[in-house]
Amino acid sequence: MGLKFNGRPFNANDFAEGIEKAMIESAKEQLRERFSAIRHPETGEFPTVIVHGESLDDLRLSIEGSADLLTVVKERMSPEDQEVTLFQPVQKAPPKAFLSYSFEDSELAEKLALGLMAKGIDIWWAEWEIGSGDSLRQKIDEGLGNCTHFLVLLTPVAIGKPWVKLEMDAGLVRRVSGQAKFIPIRYGVSTTELPTLLTGMLSPELDTNNFDAAVRDLANDIHEISSKPQLGPAPATTSLPSTSYSQTATAIAKVFVEETKTAMFADPQKGVDELASAIAASEEDVEDALYELRDFIKLSLNRAMPKPELFAQFDKHFMEWSPEDDALRMAVELVNDPMFPHDTAEVARRYGWDPRRINPALSYLLARNLIVDYKVLSSEFNSIRIVKTDGTRRFVKSRQ
């Protein structure tokens, strides 16, 4: 009986190719584990790591996380590692603000809370959060423990209230530990009347004559939106969105995103000459852009075939959905709902998504090892089952 390798008669070329592939996958896994284990010392956030490349001398990284986390990751990387890494900041969940106030100021506090909620800030306000029979202490502790911002409405009445002072103490503790930003809001109180610990903080003032503008400015501060004017476009720019890739590469991605029916591999295929004609570029420019997109496109016999990862990366720029948001939705339900179906077709029906939409979300999860790889060549889906991995919970925790 002859030697066999992977269930087939031994072939030296197949054996060498198999060994090389195993070495590449091992190197990718080591890189992924090395950087995905970095954790922000204060927030506890983990980065999401994708390893690109199909040869040992062309391995590159994409690392996703909050701006603060990416700063920590960069500090732990060598200059050589940083040169082959694309750092991609991600949008965190909406800010959560705890609003402390005096009972006598309930009407003003409600108006402020409603205004900030309308500006995308999740407000903890006692009137909404504490119901009949609830433990006051427990509910307040929960609100303080989950907040990213502590707001205290300081009025001539509130500034002397013991309960407001107790909540401010808790808010200052969270500020000192780096868990929340403390914002004292003045109404009818001058800066000279503030408690000593607050005199060094910028304290915005509510003006009932221009209340909406004051709420807008406060919301912008919480969202960290600068009042600095936006930089205008450079001359002769196109209508293509900013994608971190060149205009030519972005235009090529747009062609594939808009023409694919399934968002699966090689749908559609395009010759270099076809792409050059479609985007009004030279073939040399297209070839350079295809090299730039080599993590997302396979080039064979002068024909470009998109990988599923291309749609996961670029759909958000040209379609009405975001694969990242869709993937997070599935990951949250995978973690939180023990009855969440694993059959991909059933999940698609549950959300009302066709393969064109769900496949990029599946590719997003697969590239990050957030679901088990159940690929079947004959399937209309990039994975026929949706089963969580050890990294799914960390991914959900870091994005919420």
Least Cα distance to 112 among 33, 37, 218 occurs for 218
What's the whole-number average pLDDT of the chain?
Answer: 88
Kindly report whether the peptide bond that precedes residue 94 is cis, defined as omega within 30 degrees of 0: no
Least confident interval from 10-19, 109-118, 303-312, 335-344: 10-19
**Amino acid (1-letter code) at residue 206:** L
* Residue-wise DSSP of 73-93: HHHTS-HHHHHTEEEEE-PPP
Task: State residue 349's pLDDT score.
Answer: 96
Average pLDDT over residues 156-168: 88
CA distance linking residue 249 with residue 291, whole number of Å: 9
**Per residue in 167-184, pLDDT tens?**
888 888 888 888 888 999
With contact defined as beta carbons under 8 Å apart, do 363 and 324 qualify?
no
Share of the chain above pLDDT 70, in %: 94
Task: State residue 66's pLDDT score.
Answer: 87
- How is residue 156 annotated by DSSP? T
Average pLDDT over residues 56-81: 90
Which residues pair with residue 355 across a beta bridge?
A: none
Handedness of CA 238, 242, 244, 250 (dihedral sign): negative
Checking if the pLDDT of 289 tops 50, the result is yes
Give 273's contacts (C-beta < 8 A, 6+ positions apart).
283
pTM recorded for the entire structure: 0.58
CA distance linking residue 164 with residue 153, whole number of Å: 9
**Per residue in 327-373, pLDDT tens?**
999 999 999 999 999 999 999 999 999 999 999 999 999 999 999 99
**Per residue in 225-269, pLDDT tens?**
777 776 555 443 357 898 888 899 999 999 999 999 999 999 999
Share of the chain above pLDDT 90, in %: 53
Cα dihedral 353, 354, 360, 365, rounded to 10, equals 60
Task: State residue 294's pLDDT score.
Answer: 93
Q: In this structure, which long-range contacts are made by residues 101-108, counting pairs with CB atoms below 8 Å and at least 24 apart in sequence? A: 101/152, 101/153, 101/158, 101/164, 102/153, 102/155, 102/157, 102/158, 102/161, 102/163, 102/164, 104/155, 104/157, 104/158, 105/153, 105/155, 105/157, 105/158, 105/187, 108/153, 108/155, 108/187, 108/206
**Per residue in 383-400, pLDDT tens?**
999 999 999 999 998 887
Identify the burial level of 308 via C-beta atoms within 10 angstroms of its C-beta, where 0-12 means exposed, 13-18 middle and 19 or more buried. Answer: buried
Average pLDDT over residues 210-227: 86
